[in-house]
Structures are given as structure tokens and as C-alpha cells.
Amino acid sequence: MSTAALRATLKSYQDQLAKTVPGQFPPMPEWPELNKKLEAYAVDPYITAFFRAVAEQLLETADPYNPVASLPPPTPTAPTESAENAPEEDSEAEEENAVKAETLPEPSQPTATEVAQGAFANMPEAAQAPIAISPCKAALNGAGTYVTGALFSLADFFDEEPVDHVLVQSSTGAEQALIKLWIRELNWMSDNIGMYGPLGAHTLQKLTQAITAFAEGKNSDVTTILKAAQASDKQNRTLSFLFSQLQYYRARQGSTSALHEAREEAKRACVYADNFDGNKLLYYRYMAALIELPFDPQKSLEQLRSYYLINPESLQSDEGLWAHDGIHFKSLILLSLFKVNLLEDFEINAITEITQRVEGGVPLYLALFRPKLKELITARGPYREKLLELEQALGTALHMYNLYRRELEPYHGQHGRSWFAEVRFLQFFATPALPSFTDIFLYSSLDARRVDAESAPTETLRGNGLNRTYYWHVWAQSITPYDELRNNQALPVMTVKSWAPLTELADQMLTELTSAENALIDADKWSQVEALLPSWEMNQLISIGNGSSTSVATYAPLLQPFQTYFFTWVRAAGQAKKHAELIGSSAGQGAFGSPKHIFLAFSGASALLTDPNYNHKAMIHKAWQQYKGAGSKGGGFGGGDAVKQYGMFLLVVPIAGLTFFLMVASANVGSAMALFGVVLAMLIGVGLLLSSRK
């Protein structure tokens, strides 16, 4: 193929380059359309099942003796079309399931726990293996979702450690639940006995006696033992906590005086002390709110407020939802059980702040709070504007996610010639399975300020050389709804989309350049003289194409991390004997920084093809002459040419030194001049002999 085709395509590339403008996302839809998308979005079923399974457990913890009857009544919601057409349930089932409607699956469906267990059981064995990292930091697993391993590896986080004790085995129902709780606390107290001062060991002994008496049905002895222990150790918070749990149990059994005493003991257990473990104190406060729920939901909610268990600031720490042993997370799930009309400014502000600023806040809101809070939006009450603003932010983020996912899907599994550094980055970035919307915000906050930097598949990216890229951070800053925090170039999908026509022409030019080069190359001679031919670098090609000395750094991407990756990949592209090989290697490495960079490389290669001194034909001819000359005059020091060039030098230097020594040693000038004449004649003879060799 002649170079004419290459020049024609190069001209087409130049024309296309002149009219190429950076791609832009389409305008943001209005709120009604965003709202439709948000309403239609199905929250990841694994996340929903997980949160609801935890909620079920909390319900049972709040009232282990009758887990349904004590729950707050459900918040009325507008019936769905399927609900309107469903057959009527019988009154008994309807009454039993009414209170579960807000937080648990429909009665016709399996419970959330069953859903969770079923989903986990059907996962590949590798995905079920425990993850040896901190809670909610899941490795990429074979289940095809990022959250499955994360959530279902956390079951033990919410299940209290089982206690194997003869007292538990001899009890049933409510007594067994209370004994388990009691023994766990005694074990903790024993492990931390130094925290309780000089009376700690004595109180521990009394508490052990009390629970033994309780298991044996000696209730009057239990009270006597506890009051005696309290008289001597009034500041012992564990003692007050366990006494309160016992009295709450008695209140549920019908004791009219026990409830007041239970609340007083719970209040005493929750008093702050510098020398008491902070996380344990938070646990006692959480349990005080939790155990109060079946007796007085309003008082339970007030305790959540007064003890600041709904704490956005703590949840914005590095530990996120797992701060303080997960107490604040559990408190949020407890909050989701209350009727919406009990919520006030504090709760609404906390929920919106956690959704916006806490890693994992978005899926928590979508799974637990949004179904209830939508009522406050439609009611046009005092919280409408704040909640509507949050809804619009979520709708915007979902819209951005859908746009990016659509543009990234073609790159998933693609490993072809990328040309640009940004395209190769996208190919690597899309190598793992694309995450769901809630996957992303399980590992990041809506405002993209808090991100789990190290979780999978960040290590997959590092394996591909993207050691400056944090997977979830890139996603979060790309789809965050807040304009001032969004980075539209973190995933430059629209920019490279506008380059697509140019890369098609570049592929065509590479084919034409390869053909044009092959037409100038004698394959037989090439194989013999390749080592003698010069290697070309990209700087040389673009300098020739530009008509002046030019470096690839001139066309490097301006933004990080693409600039760093670009220089790494330029070095990897290296050098080549053929221009097409150099450009092809650079294209495969993603070592082009801009469309003009490609244009100059092909312009330089095209110019060299027609240069009389530097085209491949001329260069091979010169190398062939050198190759033949070296072959026919080989042997000795550097071959025949080397002997011609250096032979006289090798002879003259030692002979001249010897002559000088003899002349100095001669007795008179005459004999010295005679010696000089002999040496000169010898040198002339040797010179004539060397010059006559072919």
C-alpha cells in the first residue's frame, strides 16, 4: 500500500480533530422525573433483608416474652395496587401482623431472616467464608455483588455471644434470655474487675449468687441478695443494670411495682463516670431505651435523645456505622421502629445528616426510613422541605449513577487497544463487576467526603497498576449530587466518548502505516540487519511531525491520576525499529495523552516514509552495506578497517620510542642520523604493505 492512503486518512483525522469538542452529560431532569426514578429503584435485596433481619432481632430483644404484641402500631400508608386487589386476610392474622407491617416483609412473604439465610445459603462457598477484616469491609466475592459478603459476614456482630451454662440449660423462654444476658455481663465484669474498685470482687460474687437463686426460682432471695450488694456498692453500674433488667422482666410478668424500680435502676446504671468503660456505658444506655420500648415508646424515644444514641458525629468517624461497637447503628435501627408521628426535629435532622454524611447512610435510609418518612413529605408538614431536599439529592445521585453505568458497561471486559491513558484507565476500572447504587454508598457517604478507601476491589485496581486509585472514592465523587463536591472527570466517560471517531481513524491509520512500511522493507535483508538499524522513540516521531523538538510531556493529561499513569505507560511502550510497532505499542499501553499527540505521531511516521535518507528502504540499504563490509573484513582487532585505521599507530608508537632511546645512546650525531634513516625506511615499507590490502 502506498503512503497516499495514509496521508488521506491523516487529513480526515485532522479535520475530525478540528471539530471535536469535549463530551458533556445531558441536562439534569426536573424533580418529577427524578422522583419517578427514585420510586422505581429497587433497593438491593440483600441490604434490605439484612437491615430487616436486624430489626426483627431488636424486636425480640425489646420484648423477648411476646415479640409482636408490644410493638407500636403501624404508620398508615397508601395501599398499593396489589394490596387493593389482594384477598382479605382473616382477622386473627391481620391483628398479629399489623404491627410488623412497617419494618418486616409482607405476611405472604418469608421473613427477612429467612430471606437472609436463604440468600446466604445459596451463595458460593468462597463468598460465605468469614472475611478477615473489620466489620462491613467486604472483599470482592463470587456472589456477583459487593454487599452480600459484607452484610452476611456480620451476623455475629448483632448476635450476642452464646453462653454455655447449666443455668441456661435448666431454664426456658424469658428466664433463659435474662440469664444469658446476666451471665454475659458477669463474664465481662470478671474480665474487667479492676474497673470496679475494691468492692468489685465481692459484688461479682453476690451477683453470681443472685442469678443462681433466680434460676432455682427463689425470687425473694434474689431481691435480698441484690439489695444487700447495692447497699455496700452503690456506684456499681453493672449491678444497677442487671437489677433493672430483672425488674423489667418482673414488670412484664405483671408486677405493678417493678416497672418504677426498673426505670430507677436503669437510670442509675446510665450515669456517666470517668473510670467506667465508655462503650459499656453506651450499651447500658442503649439497652435502657430498647427495653423501655414495649412499656412506653415515647419514653424510649426520649432516652435515645437524652443519651445521644442517635449520634451523627460519631458515625462520621473512621469506623462509620460501627463506631462504639455499633451501638449508634443499632440505635438507628431501633429508631426506625417508632411511629413517624413521634419523631421531632432532632430525629429528622439526625436522619438527614446521617444519610448525607455517613458511610453506609444511604442504604440505611432507603431500606428503613424512606418508606415511613415519605408520609411527612406528602403531608406538607414542617419537615417537608428538609426531606424533599434529601429526596432530590438521592434522585440526582441515582440519575448520575445510571448515566455512568450506561457509559461504563462497554468497557467491562474490554482489553483491546486503548490509545488514550483515560481509556485504558476506564478499561481497568470497569474490570470488576459494576456495583449497584447501594453498593457504592455502603462504602461511601452521599457527599463523598467519607469513603472506605481500602476495600475491594481497590486491590484489583492495584494489581492492574492503578495504585493511585481508590475504587469507591472514584464512584462517590462521580455521582454525588452536590455540584461543589462532584468531579465529572474522575471517570472521564464523556470525554473519551467524544474521541471515539478519532480512535477509529487512528486504528485505520495504524493499518495503513503497517502496510506502507512493509512495502518498503525487504524481509530477508531486514532479518539480517535489524540489529544495525536505529530504534525510534515517541519523542522523535512527534518532533518530526511537529517540525521542532517536542516531548510527549507536552501532551500529558492535566489531571491526576491520569498524568501519573500516562508517564508510566509511556515508559512501558519503549522503543521500536518500525514506526507502526512504536505507535501500536503506545496505543496498547494507553500512552497517548491527547488526540493531537496521535496526530503528530502519525505525521512524523508519514514524513519518514518519504524521506530519501531516513525511509526504511534507505536505512536498510545503509545497514546492509555496513553488514557486508563487516563480514568480508573480519578478524583481528576490530576487523580489516580497524587494521587500516589503527595499524600504523600501533607500529609507530613503540618504534618511535625505541628510536629515541637509541639516538640518545649513540656516540655521535652521524650514527644517530643513520639509525633514524633505517627506522624511517622500515615504517614507509610497512605503511605501503598495509595500504595495499583489499
Q: What is the pLDDT of residues 88-146, one digit of tens each?
A: 434 444 434 333 333 333 333 344 334 334 433 433 333 333 222 222 223 222 223 45
Residues of the chain with pLDDT under 70: 1-2, 46, 49-50, 52-173, 630-680, 683-694
DSSP-based three-state secondary structure for 576: strand
DSSP single-letter state for residue 592 = B
Q: Omega into 457 within 30° of 0, i.e. cis?
A: yes
The whole-number pLDDT of residue 165 equals: 41
DSSP single-letter state for residue 637 = T
Q: Which three cell numbers stand for residue 265?
A: 435502676
**Termini Cα distance of the chain:** 42
420 backbone dihedrals φ, ψ, rounded to 5°: -95, 150
DSSP single-letter state for residue 369 = I
Q: Which three cell numbers stand for residue 497?
A: 466518548
Q: Which three cell numbers stand for residue 512?
A: 495503513
* Distance, C-alpha 511 to centroid of its chain: 38
Q: Of 352, 366, 188, nearest to 284 (Cα)?
A: 188
* CA-to-CA dists, residue 546 to 255, 553, 593, 602, 605, angstroms: 94, 14, 16, 11, 11
Phi-psi group of 511: left, alpha or beta (phi > 0 → left; psi -120 to 50 → alpha; rest → beta): alpha
- Cα dihedral sign for 338, 340, 343, 348? positive
Burial of 42 from C-beta contacts in 10 A (0-12 / 13-18 / 19+):
exposed
Give the H or E element holding residue 690. Answer: helix 669-691
- Angle (CA) 138-141-146 rounded to 5° is 55
The whole-number pLDDT of residue 255 equals: 87
Q: Which three cell numbers stand for residue 537?
A: 522513540
Cβ–Cβ under 8 Å, residues 569 and 419: no
d(CA 566, CA 538): 13
DSSP single-letter state for residue 261 = H
pTM of the model: 0.75
Q: Which three cell numbers stand for residue 392?
A: 432530590
The whole-number pLDDT of residue 299 equals: 95
Query: 166-172 long-range contacts, Cβ below 8 Å, gap at least 24?
Result: 167/211, 167/212, 167/215, 170/215, 171/215
DSSP per-residue codes, 163-201: ---HHHHT--HHHHHHHHHHHHHHHHHHHTGGGGGGGHH
d(CA 208, CA 212): 6
Cβ–Cβ under 8 Å, residues 356 and 447: yes
Q: Omega into 162 within 30° of 0, i.e. cis?
A: no
d(CA 396, CA 403): 11
d(CA 61, CA 290): 8
d(CA 540, CA 330): 64
- Count CB neighbours of 215 within 10 A: 21
Burial of 149 from C-beta contacts in 10 A (0-12 / 13-18 / 19+):
buried
d(CA 317, CA 329): 13
* CA-to-CA dists, residue 574 to 95, 424, 571, 584, angstroms: 75, 17, 5, 11
Cβ–Cβ under 8 Å, residues 586 and 573: yes
226 backbone dihedrals φ, ψ, rounded to 5°: -65, -40
Half-sphere exposure of 28 (CA within 13 A, CB side): 17
Half-sphere exposure of 145 (CA within 13 A, CB side): 20
- Count CB neighbours of 26 within 10 A: 8
- Cα dihedral sign for 174, 177, 180, 182? negative
Cβ–Cβ under 8 Å, residues 157 and 172: no
Helices assigned H by DSSP within 318-470 = 327-335, 345-357, 361-364, 370-378, 384-408, 421-429, 437-442, 458-463
Cβ–Cβ under 8 Å, residues 118 and 110: yes
DSSP-based three-state secondary structure for 444: strand
